[in-house]
Structure 1
Amino acid sequence: MTDSPTPGSHTDRPMIRLEHLTKTFPGQDRPAVDDLTLDVRAGEIVILVGPSGCGKTTTMKMINRIIEPTSGRIVLDGEDVTHADPDQLRRRIGYVIQQIGLFPHMTIADNIATVPRLLGWDRQRIADRVDELLTTVRMDPAEYRDRYPKELSGGQRQRVGVARALSADPDVMLMDEPFGAIDPITRDRLQNEFLRLQAEVRKTIVFVTHDIDEAIKMGDRIAILREGSEVVQYDTPETILTHPADGFVRDFIGAGASLKRLNLSRVRDIELSPWATVPEGTSAEEALGVLRSSPGSAVLVLDAQGRPRRWVGRADLQRADGRPLDQVGMVPEAVVEPHATLSDALNELITARYSIATVVDGNGVYQGVVDIDRITEAIRTMRSDDQRAARLGLDDGRDEAAGTIRDRRR
């Protein structure tokens, strides 16, 4: 199943084309994947999502021929690779799995260098690429290149897994529930980090998940599958949420579609709220003066580089007893970057003491805050967009919504 081009897409050229792909395992009466046809456009993240046993992982593994198809064709960048050398094919495709699969006896640098070595890269080129990728996934090369997997946290190992998949700069990446085995907080942060990275590298990605919320957040397009990898709906997250194809899709999305749409907009898409700030060298008396003239219940202390360091309220300042402001109050606990979703921001701010999410850039420099009023305003805007799309008609509304959400994601 294919769909029409989306306005504003990176390109309408399919990087991956699956044609009548079928897989029947020995001893099974019914195919695990039955006559699947699907196009994946260059530069997009396409999510395969559906209930357990629907064939989504089998489909993904057939793309790099870990599982051989029973029939059908796999076309990669215009080349039929159905019968190509599978080892050569896999070196052209990055692969990230839930269990990460790092070699425990090899250093982080050696793990990342696995495919470049197989491709015959020289030693200096490999070393440069390892350091580049560790920096890209925000791990200091000097600190991490000589460590072993057992010395890293789960989130750090997953970052290394992504770096290894990118090592030979493949055009295509396959990701099989890559964040599924990580705690929810780390998972949200890694998802955001990966979306930031994708905005820079623009890979073509097939991503398998069972989580519709993750699909909505991560995907440019979502293929909702049922048994046999039958594609029930293949569309943008926006269209799937606002115009589900049938009852199966509605049931799979579940309740709270309006809140799920907060995963479609980014913090960078909304106007940030200003907040009272003071430099960390400010005295408690001066900070109290700033606080009295502001509508908030606390001021945000910034260091010399403009990075948030402490929230200090009236009681904190009155008890400061001459201590510098970076030693009173509390560390900002809800911090997001502009590429975080509004859902992320909402999750952060509802648990924060001051019910505010602090927004920083990639260097940690303060940009503004997101409060509940901004989230509410965004929801109203979404509803207004829905009403406008309805007035334009279903087909025009679908195209406009798809173009709008693609602009927001990029």
Structure 2
Amino acid sequence: MTERPARTTGSDRPMIRLEHLTKAYPRQPHPAVQDLTLDVPEGEIVVLVGPSGCGKTTTMKMINRIIEPTSGRIVLDGEDVTGADPDQLRRRIGYVIQQIGLFPHRTIAENIGTVPRVLGWNRRRIAARVDELLETIGMDPAVYRDRYPKELSGGQRQRVGVARALSADPDVMLMDEPFGAIDPITRERLQNEFLRLQSEVRKTIVFVTHDIDEAIKMGDRIAILREGSEVVQYDTPERILTAPADEFVSDFIGAGASLKRLNLSRVRDIELSRRPTVGEDATAEEALGVLRASSHPAVLVLDRQGRPRRWLGEADLKRADGRPLTSLGMPPEAVVEPHATLSDALNELIAASYSIATVVDGAGVYQGVVDIDRISDAIRAMRGHGRRPADTAAVEDGVHGPAGSA
């Protein structure tokens, strides 16, 4: 089993560099952020995580100058933007917040097109970009383009918020607790969806959360902060879990570090198990023959496009009585895509009647299954191998530049 490697873009310089950044408020005894230096590599997700009051949101808001720093420098793509026009700066940076912040009186298309309109794009270009982004986030433009935010679910509104942040194709995105106000099931799906999207668009992202599990799942690198935005450890998730810098980091990670490592590996990283399959046009007798020739308790029915439709056991097939296979058995309850973490897969298969998670690609085509044996093998491999030398070298070769580890 291979653990998730850090994404790289081939560039040695950071996309964002914060140099000795400080934010002090009048009549406050201590700065909210004090002398913070941090590099954010191009094309990576860097997560700022820490207890309430550690300054992580203040730090992020200084990057696009929603909050003005008291001192220090902000360098974006090699350009010192500390004194640049803040409105122009914000048009270069996508911004997603927990409350989403969609304009209620504007349609979904108008919300997504907000920044392109400010930038002077023509109507045809804006409309094409809106439709492209709606398709990218899995929302049919013909269905959702002219709806209003109040007509969407919380998860759909959050997707639109991400689409709006991507509308002008910014190199940098800031995400402040973007999935924090959503129910756990929707949150997990949106996290996976965003990671799939990031694998395609490769933006440089600063992501703020208070949840270490989310940080481990989402981040290429994690900066663990304490009061004043002091960087206690800035490292890969693997390194933070296997070699915490001090007791503060260990306590923040909490118990169950081995299980947390399931968030570091993805379904695509392991060898999938196979199950017997038949096409939806097969007869019950044909399906029964395929099932009996295998050592498994159920056969999976696939439609003409290769997408999973039903799990059928021997009892289902014996009482088919000429009915089509798609009317028998039960639908796959646990379906995951290759970019889902092993933790996601474990959660899904535990709740499934057949105790397996069915793996499909982006088009819904069957790829295989993940069962508890495969996940157990993965856990044993993690314990046995730990971090690979290449991962250690990536950190030691200065990926995080002047930030370092405290």
Normalising by structure 1, what TM-score? Answer: 0.93
Which residue is equivalent to 1:349?
349
**Residues 1:86 and 2:86 are matched in the alignment:** yes
The structure 1 segments of at least 4 consecutive aligned residues displaced by more than 6 Å after TM superposition are 400-403
Q: How far did 1:57 drift? A: 0.4
Whole-Å Cα distance in 1 between the matches of residues 191 and 137 of structure 2? 12
Alpha-carbon spacing, 1:146–1:344, altered in 2? closer, same or farther (3 Å):
same
Which residue is equivalent to 1:283?
283
CA RMSD of superposed structures (Å):
1.7
Aligned partners of 2:301 and 2:311 also within 8 Å: yes
Which residue is equivalent to 1:408?
none
- After TM superposition, the structure 1 = structure 2 runs for residues 382-393 of structure 1, keeping only pairs within 5 Å, are 382-386=382-386
Whole-Å Cα distance in 1 between the matches of residues 315 and 255 of structure 2? 42
Whole-Å Cα distance in 1 between the matches of residues 246 and 160 of structure 2? 40
**Residues 1:179 and 2:179 are matched in the alignment:** yes
Whole-Å Cα distance in 2 between the matches of residues 65 and 319 of structure 1? 67
Query: SS at the partner of 2:351?
Result: coil
Whole-Å Cα distance in 1 between the matches of residues 364 and 378 of structure 2? 24
- After TM superposition, the structure 1 = structure 2 runs for residues 2-401 of structure 1, keeping only pairs within 5 Å, are 9-10=8-9, 11-386=11-386, 398-399=392-393
Q: How far did 1:7 drift? A: 8.3
Whole-Å Cα distance in 1 between the matches of residues 152 and 320 of structure 2? 38
Whole-Å Cα distance in 2 between the matches of residues 233 and 338 of structure 1? 30
Whole-Å Cα distance in 2 between the matches of residues 140 and 187 of structure 1? 20
Q: How far did 1:400 drift? A: 7.0
Code of the aligned partner of 1:233: Q
Structure 1 residues 144-192: Cα deviation after superposition (integer angstroms, max 9, x where no partner)? 1111111111111111000000000000000001011111111111111
Aligned partners of 1:19 and 1:72 also within 8 Å: yes
Whole-Å Cα distance in 2 between the matches of residues 75 and 400 of structure 1? 23
Aligned partners of 1:104 and 1:150 also within 8 Å: yes
Whole-Å Cα distance in 1 between the matches of residues 101 and 133 of structure 2? 18
Whole-Å Cα distance in 1 between the matches of residues 217 and 115 of structure 2? 30
Query: SS at the partner of 1:275?
Result: coil
Q: How far did 1:381 drift? A: 1.5
Aligned partners of 1:105 and 1:148 also within 8 Å: yes
Aligned partners of 1:238 and 1:402 also within 8 Å: no
Which residue is equivalent to 1:407?
none
Structure 1 residues 219-270: Cα deviation after superposition (integer angstroms, max 9, x where no partner)? 0100000000000000000000000000000010111111111111111111
Q: How much identity, in percent, do the aligned residues show?
A: 82
Code of the aligned partner of 2:94: G
Alpha-carbon spacing, 1:8–1:133, altered in 2? closer, same or farther (3 Å):
closer
Higher relative contact order (CA 8 A, sep 6+): 2
Q: How far did 1:320 drift? A: 2.2
Aligned partners of 1:284 and 1:325 also within 8 Å: yes
Q: How far did 1:9 drift? A: 2.9
Whole-Å Cα distance in 2 between the matches of residues 82 and 400 of structure 1? 29
Code of the aligned partner of 1:350: I
Query: SS at the partner of 1:350?
Result: helix
Whole-Å Cα distance in 1 between the matches of residues 74 and 20 of structure 2? 9
Q: How far did 1:38 drift? A: 0.4
Code of the aligned partner of 1:49: V
Alpha-carbon spacing, 1:39–1:279, altered in 2? closer, same or farther (3 Å):
same
Q: How far did 1:315 drift? A: 2.0
Normalising by structure 2, what TM-score? Answer: 0.94
Aligned partners of 1:311 and 1:329 also within 8 Å: yes
Alpha-carbon spacing, 1:119–1:47, altered in 2? closer, same or farther (3 Å):
same
Q: How far did 1:27 drift? A: 2.3
Which residue is equivalent to 1:3?
none
Larger mean CA deviation between 89-98 and 278-287 belongs to 278-287
Aligned partners of 1:21 and 1:35 also within 8 Å: yes
Larger mean CA deviation between 180-189 and 170-179 belongs to 180-189
Gaps (5+ residues) in structure 2?
398-406
Whole-Å Cα distance in 1 between the matches of residues 184 and 150 of structure 2? 21
Structure 1 residues 47-84: Cα deviation after superposition (integer angstroms, max 9, x where no partner)? 00000110000100010011111111111111111111
Q: How far did 1:334 drift? A: 0.4
Whole-Å Cα distance in 2 between the matches of residues 119 and 309 of structure 1? 46
